[in-house]
Chain A
Amino acid sequence: EDKVVQSPLSLVVHEGDTVTLNCSYEVTNFRSLLWYKQEKKAPTFLFMLTSSGIEKKSGRLSSILDKKELFSILNITATQTGDSAVYLCAPAQGGSEKLVFGKGTKLTVNP
């Protein structure tokens, strides 16, 4: 059975802190891993990772994939209140391109 485990499930920090969100996965026919940010309604795309060890960066966010250990992390530096959201990890399965979502990490950034 396909499994995606995100940790922590919930995290409360102060503005300016750095956070690391974790995602471990076991999915059949793994192709890539995607990260999404969900604030109120529709998730918005952050990153897609296909190769191990290559960090993807977008401003204060960065992510890396370890295909050997079946693990990915999402880092956010100098957090802002606007980073408050649920962050979803989703491995993609080749062929069908189905995404298997974890439960998400709820990040709250206090001023």
Chain B
Amino acid sequence: DGGITQSPKYLFRKEGQNVTLSCEQNLNHDAMYWYRQDPGQGLRLIYYSQIVNDFQKGDIAEGYSVSREKKESFPLTVTSAQKNPTAFYLCASSGAHSLSGGYTFGSGTRLTVV
């Protein structure tokens, strides 16, 4: 079945450590996105990529980094520079230039800094 997989579901990190969240899709979608969700808040865009080897900053990119070396994969690294990293992270994908079915979302990674 086609879909988008995020791992791990739960992640604990000590302050000062970098951590990488995985996002893999087998939908043959060109575009992929990373959002952050805090309690009582909507989703805020961190980074997005419309094509392999290219990505753009979203609204809250500071303290995060991404790569897009393969069409299927769009990992997100939360660096020690991110001041408040505890949040729920959602990855999504869509066919480029076509939102007829909306984004497909992964089931998310809940990151807690201890």
Contact = CB atoms under 8 A, between A and B. Distances in A.
Contacts of B41: 103
B102 A97 contact: no
Given A42-B90, A42-B105, A42-B107, A104 B100 contact: no
Interface in B36-50: 40-45, 48, 50
Given A97-B31, A98-B33, A104-B42, A45 B94 contact: no
B97 interface: yes
Contacts of A9: 40
B59 to A, nearest CB: 8
Contacts of A99: 33, 43, 45, 103
A96 interface: yes
Contact of A103 (B40, B101, B102, B108): B40
Interface string A14-42: 00000000000000000110101000011
A65 to B, nearest CB: 14
Interface in A39-68: 41-45, 48
A9 B42 CA distance: 11
A97 B97 contact: yes
A99 to B, nearest CB: 6
B48 A98 contact: yes
A32 B44 CA distance: 18
A92 interface: yes
Nearest to A92: B99
A4 interface: yes
Contacts of B99: 31-32, 34, 48, 92, 97
29 contacts: A4-B42, A6-B42, A9-B40, A31-B99, A34-B103, A41-B108, A42-B105, A42-B106, A42-B107, A43-B43, A43-B90, A43-B105, A45-B103, A48-B99, A48-B100, A88-B42, A88-B43, A97-B94, A97-B98, A98-B45, A98-B48, A99-B33, A99-B103, A100-B45, A101-B43, A102-B42, A103-B40, A103-B42, A104-B42
